[in-house]
Amino acid sequence: MSLPQRLVIATRASRLALWQAEHVRDRLRTLYPACAVELLTLTTRGDQILDRTLSKVGGKGLFVKELENALLDGRADLAVHSLKDVPVDLQAPFELCAVLDRADPRDAFVSNHYGSLADLPAGAVVGTSSLRRESQIRARYPALTVKPLRGNLDTRLGKLDKGEYDAIVLAAAGLERLGLGARIRSLLDPSDSLPAAGQGALGIEIRDDRGDMRAWLAPLASADTTSCVVAERAVSRKLGGSCQVPLAAYAEIASGTLSLRALVASPDGARMVRAVRSGPVAQAQAIGEAAAQELLDAGAQAILCELLQDDAQPD
């Protein structure tokens, strides 16, 4: 196999997205010292629309469209994403060709005055961009006020520091990657806030006709993380997962067994159904599909139908 001479990575312009792209760039430079690896920085629709929640403006695909256009027209060879931002129904001519080792998948509680969600007084305002987080917070702490929080990581922290929120909940991995781990007051155990499918993992997207890229990127892939996110994304795919659905799925591997937890909830947290499945790592896809079916059998379909009806209503 010939070695790459020049590779261009498409990335969003946010500080976190740039960190992720630079991380992959550095890994590639180590693998292929003679290769020139460059970044193509783009602004996506998801970065531009900050006054509405993602569920109201088109969902996760808003963060990948411009990057995919760069893959299509040849300006870039690969795109680096936070995997939880990648739609599960990725269509040809694109493919997710490598999933890197996962960072901390947990949600993080950030506040300037309180140590945990349990410490917040009734009526305290908690900010989150995620219906998944919102539903679980509302279920456990119904006395709290949950409000939308959009923008990149620095923007969200800035809104907290201005006093617009008493606390915010963010992905721990993003804070750690940017050297902001000290802002974390406490980490939410997955039993309290089950992570999103793919949370903490980086995914690399390419055009599906680039067999050369597939081979060059293969050494970056993590087998265990790939198996976990295959199971998690299978849940989301079967349930039509998007930003409009408060859906969580989190898998772990121990001694050759993959264990998966998943849930679907109403945004207000009043209704929540859970599933737990496990089996051999090689059956990750089937485990995810079985967990999704268990959720459907337990009543998830009624929640999903209600959410779809709500989305069909004008604002």
Q: Does domain 6-100+201-221 have CATH number 2.40.110.10?
A: no
Please report where in the chains the tokens 């990648």 appear, as a residue.
86
**What are the tens digits of pLDDT across the range 51-107?**
444 444 444 556 688 999 999 999 999 999 999 888 888 889 999 999 999 999 999
Q: Is the pLDDT of residue 47 over 70?
A: no
pLDDT given for residue 55 in this prediction: 47
The separation between CA 152 and the C-alpha centre of its own chain, rounded to angstroms, equals: 14
Q: Which CATH number fits domain 107-188: 3.40.50.10380, 3.40.50.1970, 3.40.190.10, 3.40.50.300?
A: 3.40.190.10
pLDDT tens digits along 293-304: 999 999 998 898
The residues annotated as belonging to the active site are: 85
Residue ranges, comma separated, of all CATH 3.30.160.40 domains in the chain are: 236-312
Q: Which pLDDT score, from 0 to 100, does residue 58 have?
A: 46
> What is the structure's pLDDT at 240?
80
- pLDDT of amino acid 211: 96
Q: Which CATH architecture has domain 236-312?
A: 2-Layer Sandwich (3.30)
Q: Where are the beta strands (DSSP E) in 46-193?
A: 78-82, 94-99, 107-110, 125-128, 145-148, 167-171, 184-188
Q: What is the pTM for the complete model shown?
A: 0.90
Q: What pLDDT is recorded for position 62?
A: 65
Q: Output 44 or 136, whichever has higher pLDDT.
A: 136
Report the pLDDT value the prediction gives residue 309, as an integer from 0 to 100: 64
pLDDT at 194: 98
Question: What stretch of H or E contains 158?
Answer: helix 153-161
